[in-house]
Structure 1
């Protein structure tokens, strides 16, 4: 769920951190993260509260990996009071040459305790690495589903740079969410899970310090979602600007 961009050497977690790791490890990896607010596409997924997440990456071949993630959601209204969120994300590298990597995959989002609210997305990503700098463009499309009240398209751009001679990395990016809405009152309520007041922009900027197996980070996130958005069954007020801190451990 965490999809912020951090270089592979920093082993970003898959729940409220970077949009994706651009280079995949040749061996399985796991990381545990504690954050003051679990955010996805600028929206809180933990009801604005502290959360824990775990991410494991399993390379099946040089081009195929499977990422499995779990995070505490703190009875988030956005996901029907779910206690736990699970992600399963297989991905295949279609092309890798000259620093460029093109990949495609799928993401299944399962919400334990949120009946009927799980959904899936198709994903694609084009990334480029040059020295300490990494860039990525991505698209995620969720076909029309009852769980999210319609379809959802997310377009994103991300960048990260390790500062030479230091243990610090700067990263940032943004995205745009849009989509369709099904007919009916329930659909009108559920579509606000991912788009609280219609199509919107999100953006983030972060800094991370690596300390052997620990990483400490600070991240600012914001959105174009109006502060005057009307409340709803699947909506909370944690959609605006927020500075959050996180600590990640990689065994």
Structure 2
């Protein structure tokens, strides 16, 4: 599987450098600071503040690539990695207000070998006026880096308040999977299968956005192995703040 990940990242890099400048559409880039970086209700920055950068590059009308980098603050969840890098090419089919996307996501953890993994992704999105609904799935085939397979299903809804620079959003997700006996299964499922949810509000002014987000999970303290080197205590409820700049 590590060869598949290397191939995915290499292919994405090749697409980026070979084709990005050949397209008429310009990429979008943003920089973000947040009090805690959470994915699927779990802290990826050891419960500490994090900084990150994101880029979305349209390679053609239907094909694009998203690249994200975030500081991990030596997170135990990722073996003490310094930096998380995500490379995600995707193909999108648009029809009658619906967007259908499929892609591949390579999750690379710089500074710690044996932790990077690949996911297959899919999304269905519908925009109606100021509101957007997105239903998605991400499947990681069995890999030692995540102690087996991992399936994440989620639904997210966002809506801007007409006449204001405020957007409300929220979502719910469910993580499940299999275990091959590797203790790294605790990275993405510290208490086994679980639900996560979040609610947030964002204020946008020109190229600056600021927001507050509440995140929580169904994971109980008695479900997590306190001796596992691949998890931490940052899986419960928390309110986070963030500031994003888009040049």
Asked if these proteins are the same fold (TM beyond 0.5), I'd say: yes
5+ long unaligned stretches in structure 1: 1-24
Deviation at 1:161, TM superposition (A): 0.1
Instruction: Look up the match of 1:133.
Output: 131
Aligned pairs, how many? 222
Matches within 5 A, 1:3-152: 26-93=25-92, 95-152=93-150
Deviation at 1:98, TM superposition (A): 1.7
1:207-238 deviation line (CA, Å, top 9, x unaligned): 00001110000000000011222211101000
1:31-60 deviation line (CA, Å, top 9, x unaligned): 000000000000000000000010011100
Higher mean C-alpha deviation, range 229-238 or range 68-77: 229-238
Deviation at 1:113, TM superposition (A): 1.2
TM-score, length basis structure 2: 0.88
Structure number, greater radius of gyration: 2
1:123-142 deviation line (CA, Å, top 9, x unaligned): 00001000100001100000
Alignment of 1:178 onto 2:176: yes
- The ranges of structure 1 where at least 4 consecutive aligned residues each deviate by more than 2 angstroms after the TM superposition are none
Aligned with 2:244 (options 222, 225, 248): 248
1:160-191 deviation line (CA, Å, top 9, x unaligned): 001000000000001000000003xxx1x100
CA RMSD of aligned residues (A): 1.0
Matches within 5 A, 1:196-235: 196-228=190-222, 229-231=224-226, 232-235=228-231
Alignment of 1:239 onto 2:238: no
* CA distance, structure 2, for counterparts of residue 26 and residue 103 of structure 1: 19
5+ long unaligned stretches in structure 2: 1-23
Deviation at 1:83, TM superposition (A): 0.5
TM-score, length basis structure 1: 0.87
